[in-house]
Amino acid sequence: MFDFRMPSPNRHAYAVLSHEEGLDTDKQTRRSPSNFARFTGWFIWLLTISGISGVSFYAGRRSTYISQKGGIQLRPITRVLEYDQKYGTPGLGSSTAWRALIPNHGGFFNHPTLAPHRSTFSVFHQLKCLNGMREGYWALWSALNEERMIEADEMPEMSTPQDIIHCSDFLRQVLLCQPDLTLEVKNLTDEAVEGFGTERVCRDYEELIGFVGEWEDWGARES
């Protein structure tokens, strides 16, 4: 913590002593400007630090997620992946669960330093793509079982042929951009890997949701 106590100026600093006291009047008056300059310097320093502190507080209000490099820093957590049925099987409950993964406003937010322009984290785009492909698959599966045709405009959001073309290549490039190097042990019975049951070091997704929630309305009208 900074010590903002100002040095108390000597109230007699400018008093000129008489020659009878054995002091050089000219020498004494030359000392006074240095004391004044020192006081002025401390005062300017105090104003500068106060201004910087105010701006820093404003830019980082209610949030300690921004790293020194300018990106967002989330708490690492260790977890073992387990199958969650509500995200796998089709139905209204599954769609609701998937959509709850995305913050309000589609995950778009503003931040004075991280995102001056309206932005969203790529993970939200990726989840929308994955959910669109999932819902599109089950819509086609249902139509096939009912032996009926389904038009492109009947497909769920993010599930049209154009969406699938976009999302499949987008997700491919995202996975190749930052490969997940978690080791998955081969199941000797099935001669394959399951993905579930493997311990992973993750970043706290709830913290990410909290960060976006703090900033999703800030500056929205200006963007």
User: What pLDDT digit, counting tens, does each position of 121-169 carry?
Assistant: 999 999 999 999 999 999 999 999 999 998 888 888 889 999 999 999 9
Q: Residue 89: its pLDDT value, please?
A: 85
Cβ-contact 198, 184 below 8 angstroms: yes
Instruction: Enumerate the H helices of the chain as residue ranges.
Output: 25-59, 85-88, 92-99, 122-145, 161-177, 205-215
User: CA geometry: angle at 130 spanning 216 and 104, to 5°?
Assistant: 15
For every residue of 73-103, DSSP letters joined together read: ---EEEEE----HHHHS-SHHHHHHHHTTSP
Q: Residue 104: its pLDDT value, please?
A: 86
pLDDT in tens, 84-124: 999 988 887 998 999 999 998 899 999 999 999 999 999 99
Residue 206 pLDDT grade (very low, low, confident, very high; cuts 50, 70, 90):
very high
Provide the greatest CA pair distance for the chain: 118
Span 24-42, average pLDDT: 51
User: What percentage of residues in the chain have a pLDDT greater than 90?
Assistant: 52
**Residue with token string 């399951």:** 194
Domain residue ranges of the chain, discontinuous segments joined by +:
1-59, 76-215
